[in-house]
Amino acid sequence: MNLPYKNNLQIAVLSGKGGTGKTTISTALSEIAENKIIIDADVDAANMHLVFNYYINSEYDYYGGKKAEINQDKCSKCGLCKTVCRFDAIKDFKVNRASCEGCGFCFRVCPDHAISFYESKSGVYSECEMEDQTKFYFAKLLAGEGNSGKLVSEIKKKAYEQAKENVKWIIIDGPPGIGCPVNASLSGVDFVVIVTEPTQSGLHDLKRLIELLNLFKVPSGVIINKHSINDEVSKSIEEFIDSAGIKLLAKIPFDKNFIKAVQSSRSIINYNPLYFEKFKSIWNDIQLMVLN
């Protein structure tokens, strides 16, 4: 995906698993960066908007797939649709929207032509503006809806359309894992900040994410969050990323201030300004790695 201006640089913050503190770190880095656009690409569970002060300029409906619907006036109650539905989405000759996967099989086999198959609203994405006039984008996928990767691409496209020439950085808080929405988040990215934690599952999923980044050929750096909860695993992570040629950007100890900041709907920098210099140093290292 091409950016509207060649000077735009994309930084994605990712984690191999949920719960590592990725969004807390994304929020801190995005507050320090200047001349930026911010995108919360975790469309299944967006939460950056919970700590930002912003107002919504525009909202857009997202249609990510199709759903079936049975016309009761035409239906002869033959039951064939329920027989062929592999997702148990049809009961009492009605389609449960949350269970319908949009395969269209029932639509194709209905002898009465009583089933319609139509584009269905799957979510909403918002274009926002913060107090300092920074553009901020986030989305909400409706319950039971799929195609979250397509929604990530949609919200990124909208952000790029609005990017001005003075926008230097596009900072993306990506979804956890290595699935489709992560792949969509990585499109056009210049650098990835990987946030991990010193647990066995954290190390395992870190390795999977790095394998994915190697396929995309995207450079990265690692932040070990809550490193003090397990020094042994933290050391194993350092040894692994060193062997992989990946820079350790920072080690952040476990601190209850991070929890309190979330509970008060504030960023860690806003809640405890002592962390400003820490994240400023991390951001400076990221800039050096991207620009050199």
Q: What number is the average pLDDT over the span 217-234?
A: 95
Phi-psi region of 273 (alpha: psi -120 to 50; beta: other; left: phi over 0): alpha
Q: What number is the average pLDDT over the span 238-264?
A: 94
How many CB atoms are closer than 10 A to CB 228?
Answer: 13
The rounded percent of the chain whose pLDDT value lies above 90 is: 70
pLDDT at 109: 96
Residue with tokens 């809640």: 271
Report the C-alpha gap between 173 and 23 in whole angstroms.
6
pLDDT > 80? residue 22: yes
pLDDT at 260: 93
Would you say 207 and 248 are in contact if contact means Cβ atoms under 8 Å apart? no
Q: What number is the average pLDDT over the span 195-224?
A: 95
Query: Mean of the per-residue pLDDT values for the chain?
Result: 91
The token duo for 118 is: 């139509």
- Domain boundaries along the sequence of the chain: 9-53+131-291, 64-121
Q: Exposed, middle or buried, 98 (CB in 10 Å: 0-12/13-18/19+)?
A: exposed
The token duo for 172 is: 């993306």
pLDDT > 50? residue 5: no
pLDDT > 50? residue 284: yes
The token duo for 70 is: 């049975």
Would you say 106 and 47 are in contact if contact means Cβ atoms under 8 Å apart? no
pLDDT > 70? residue 118: yes
Q: What number is the average pLDDT over the span 35-56?
A: 91
| pTM, full prediction | 0.87
Range of lowest pLDDT (14-23, 139-148, 275-284): 139-148
Report the C-alpha gap between 50 and 261 in whole angstroms.
11
Q: What is the assigned CATH class of domain 64-121?
A: alpha beta
pLDDT at 282: 96
**Predicted confidence band of residue 120 (pLDDT cuts 50, 70, 90):** confident
User: If we measure between CA atoms, which residue out of 183, 195, 199, 151 comes closest to residue 46?
Assistant: 151
pLDDT at 7: 65
- Can you state the angle between helices 256-263 and 22-32, rounded to 10 degrees? 80
pLDDT at 142: 83
pLDDT > 80? residue 201: yes
For the chain, state the CA radius of gyration: 22
pLDDT at 15: 93
Sign of CA dihedral 193, 244, 229, 280: negative
Helix (H) or strand (E) holding 81: helix 80-84
pLDDT at 235: 96
Structure confidence by residue, pLDDT tens digits, 54-86? 999 999 999 888 899 999 999 999 999 999 999
Would you say 28 and 52 are in contact if contact means Cβ atoms under 8 Å apart? no
The CATH T-level fold of domain 9-53+131-291 is Rossmann fold (3.40.50)
**Predicted confidence band of residue 143 (pLDDT cuts 50, 70, 90):** confident
Q: What number is the average pLDDT over the span 19-41?
A: 93
The token duo for 250 is: 């920072």
Angle at 36 between CA 33 and CA 38, to 5 degrees: 100
